[in-house]
Structure 1
Amino acid sequence: MNPTDRKRARRETTGFILITLLIGFLAALLLGACGSQEQKYLALQAQAQAEARAADARIAEANSRAAQAQAAAQAAQSEAERARWAAERDRWQAELADAQAQREKALAWAQVEVSKQEKYNIAAANQPALTAYLLLGLGGAIAFLLIVVVIKLANDRATSNDNWRRQQETRHAQLLETLVLASATGAVRPDLAASAARGYLGQGQQPGGYLPAEPQNPGGPPMGYLPPGPVGPGHRRGGRPPGHGPAPWHKETRIIGQDPDAWNEWE
């Protein structure tokens, strides 16, 4: 895979891991919330019962003060004193009504919390099965995401390989076209062009534009290799010029487009 595909694969793998961790975290929160509801309902019930007890205390005090005010009003000697105690009695009767309303509200609240706790107890009895279903669904979701990621990575790798193969085929076709044109125009000898094509298609092009080594021919030079230079004065038939000449054929660096008559200049 090329660097871009590798980076995309790493990003997708990291995303899959993060999504898996997020799903697991949400599942843990859900299970923890189910386990903490009981304490919440019990605390709310205790608060409602405390408010009901406070309302009962207010009711008792209001009843007592209202009775005292009523008795004082009846025993009053003057009209003004009787009116003052009657107003005090009315104030405590209003306090009594407010305390009774508070008590009813607290009792209703406590009843609601008791009903919620009963529903929770029923759900808690089924919690093991619900937990199993939740974990099963979580495992299925993770497996599905894993399959999707694996398929995506496989498709990306196949696409990258196809692109690389098409690029290689294009390069091979361009090289062959170049060799054919060079051979047709005489820039490269046909046998050298054929040797270059065989070597390139067999082993790939080497850095710097040099041709790869040609297939070895046991007992002789490489296949497609012809001793350069015509036969003439100062030349050995089928060999190289005398004197300090180029390197032997198996150590020689050959370049596409090299002039085949360059050997004649070495004497």
Structure 2
Amino acid sequence: MSGFLYGAALQWKLDIRSKSLLVTCYIVPLIFFLLMGGIFTSVMPKMRDTLIQSMIVMSVSMGAFIGLPPSLMETYGSDVKKVYKANGVPLYLGLVTMFFSTFVHLMITCIIILLFAPVLFEAILPIHLPRFFLALAIYIVVSLSIGSILGLIVKNQAKLTMIAQLVFLPSILLSGIMFPADLLPNFLEMSGRIFPAFWGYRLMLNNGFRFENLWYFIAAFCVAVITCGMLISHTKDM
């Protein structure tokens, strides 16, 4: 436990100095929130009911798919992993500390959106806040789990950037946060169900915390944990 806490504290210090994390977890999501929040509520006043959930989905998707994977690639795709081995540190510790640190950063951004959306755009707060935060935590964890797979499996920065965008953009466009998903052609609507953003948005809505919106996260998290475990074991043997 002491090793984990030390690693988490060290990772937090590194994150504070990271321009990439600052951009993907704070600056871009909050700028998007400030600009698009006003546009959405002006064009579609009814969107005040779901503005918080929509802005959070965008923020979490960006942090999980664009912010976390490069950090993992730098660690597990370079000689940094040899430092872990030389000091007897389990290889999975890097993943766990980066995962936990990014989770905290994304939660902070989401809380900022939750606090300021009603003030700036007259957005409606979720009715059951404890249930909302539980849904939010589940959504962040599963999104980061999928982002972890990208960071562990792709070893080239250019390829990782391209693949991350291919995951991030459909997550936003097909999730229903910008316009109702049922307006899309059937093929695109069904394609959107592949991404956690689609289910996370619905899970965080009022009365959305139901098994029909939760089963995806249970299945995706189990698959992601097994996949990450296999990838780290493969890295250990290299």
Q: TM-score, normalised by structure 1?
A: 0.25
Higher relative contact order (CA 8 A, sep 6+): 2
Q: TM-score, normalised by structure 2?
A: 0.27
Larger radius of gyration between Structure 1 and Structure 2? 1
